[in-house]
Amino acid sequence: MSSYALEILAECHDRAGFASGLESVDRYLREAARGHLEKGISVTRVLVEVGGTPPKQVVGYFTLSNIAVEAGDWPGVAKRLPKQAVSAVLLGRLAVAKAAHERGIGSMLVASARQLARETILRTGGIGMVVDAANEHVVGFYTRFGFRRVSAASLRMFLPSASLETGAAIPMG
């Protein structure tokens, strides 16, 4: 039986009580995530304990959106990437509540985001999953899951579509 449910952010979730220790991601959940969801900019999903009652305590969350990737005219690139924009799935933010650290929540959120990204790419196309790490420490976190930095000057990371298959499927219900 599942211990946690991953739900699309809604009124019943306690956004104000979420504290990860990184103010920018806490503020995003509190102030911007609902608006971005309503405007179709991005979708935020929150992890809550199964059976919780509103306001449901959020143990972690992540935000997915589409991103257009433009390769430009770089020599040799056009063979593998068309000149026009191609789609990818962006994992813009991922955070775990301080009180829920050391329970594997971060790992489960990454795995869930990966599965949802893969499903999107299978349905509508896309070259892979892009991650924006908040800082160098977070780069280390995503590196552990196979994401690779695209340049030394950027905190942006990437994993191609073909690398998103992992076998074990997280149940949908």
Partner 1 sequence: MKAIEKTAVRKRGRPPGAATKRINTRFPAGLAEKIEYAAAVRGVAISAFIHEAVAERADRIIEAESRWVLTRQEAATVVAMIDKPPKPIKNMLDAAKLAARHVVIRA
Residues of this chain that bind partner 1 (CB under 8 A): 2-8, 41-42, 45, 47, 50, 65-72, 74, 76-77, 80-81, 85, 88, 90, 92, 104, 107-108, 110-112, 114-116, 127-128, 130, 132, 144-146, 148-151, 154, 156, 158-173
Q: Each residue of 90-129: b (16+ CB within 10 Å) or e?
A: bbbbbbbbeebeeeebbebbbebbbbbbbebbeeeebbbb
Q: Within a 13 Å sphere around the CA of 109, how many CA atoms are in the beta-carbon half?
A: 28
Minimum CB separation of residue 5 from partner 1 in Å reads 5
Minimum CB separation of residue 138 from partner 1 in Å reads 15
Given the complex with partner 1, which of 15 and 128 has the nearer CB atom? 128
Residue 122's beta-bridge partner residues?
Answer: none
Minimum CB separation of residue 168 from partner 1 in Å reads 4
Given the complex with partner 1, which of 20 and 108 has the nearer CB atom? 108
Alpha-carbon span 117 to 25, nearest angstrom: 20
Here the tokens at position 95 are 């955070």
Minimum CB separation of residue 63 from partner 1 in Å reads 9
Label residue 49 exposed, middle or buried (CB < 10 Å: 0-12, 13-18, 19+).
middle
Given the complex with partner 1, which of 19 and 155 has the nearer CB atom? 155
